[in-house]
Amino acid sequence: MRKQRPFWQELPLLVVIALLLALLVKTFLLQAFSIPSDSMQNTLQKGDRVLVDKLTPWFGSEPERGEVVVFHDPGEWLKNEPTPRTNAVQKALSFIGLMPSAEEKDLIKRVVGVGGDTVECKGAGPLKVNGKALDEPYVFPGNTACSTDPGGQFKVTVPSGHLWVMGDHRQASGDSRYHQHEPGAGMVPVDDVVGRAVVVAWPVGRLDNLPVPATFGQAGIDVRR
């Protein structure tokens, strides 16, 4: 019978296997993301940790209206935002997906319009998609659905392969509205999407899922069908 090796001899191999599995999960399945600002209140609070589904896009699925998504900066939206300093341990943990990366220039917003949609804000709102008014109880209390400043008033048609995104804290979100005069016109390429935020995982007291609000499923809103 083959003699079993002591545990201390097997431990390095087990650690390597665990790290490889964690890296595979981060690359293909789930990744942690830290909420960097107040732009998604009260759905998400600054400092919340969410888990991002990275698997679904591998099967050709594209983001849908109402989903909360994480995406790479599509055109220097974060050019004036400082990059937090991290130590070696934090970098190692973020590399394998056990901590959110502080160095990646990513944003998180709600998808309001997809390719082919016409999205409109007039006055204080409501926000309209393809002529249908949205019922948005998730908008930050005291906010109006549309901001009445010049950037907050718009009517756009989303090109194929792109998204129009907005924060739930409408009066505190530098989203698609405020990048219309830059390259890309405020649109987010679908290819820049990291994945959909599906769960608030931390702090424990805020554990919750992030479903698509019913208003995005109302009759007549989907012009693609």
Task: Tell me how far apart the alpha carbons of residues 111 and 96 are, in angstroms, rounded to a whole number.
Answer: 28
- Please indicate whether residue 109 is annotated as part of the active site: yes
Task: Tell me how far apart the alpha carbons of residues 70 and 145 are, in angstroms, rounded to a whole number.
Answer: 22
188 by Cβ neighbours in 10 Å (0-12 / 13-18 / 19+) ranks as: buried
Of 201, 190, 195, residue with least CA distance to 56: 195
Of 117, 111, 68, residue with least CA distance to 225: 117
The gap between the terminal CA atoms of the chain, to the nearest Å, is 66
Which is the catalytic residue, given 26, 54, 109, 128? 109
- Please indicate whether residue 3 is annotated as part of the active site: no
* Helix or strand holding residue 31 (H, E): strand 30-34
Which is the catalytic residue, given 39, 101, 173, 176? 39
Of 170, 97, 101, 160, residue with least CA distance to 138: 170
Residue 105 phi, psi dihedral angles, 5° rounding: -85, 80
Residues noted as catalytic: 39, 109
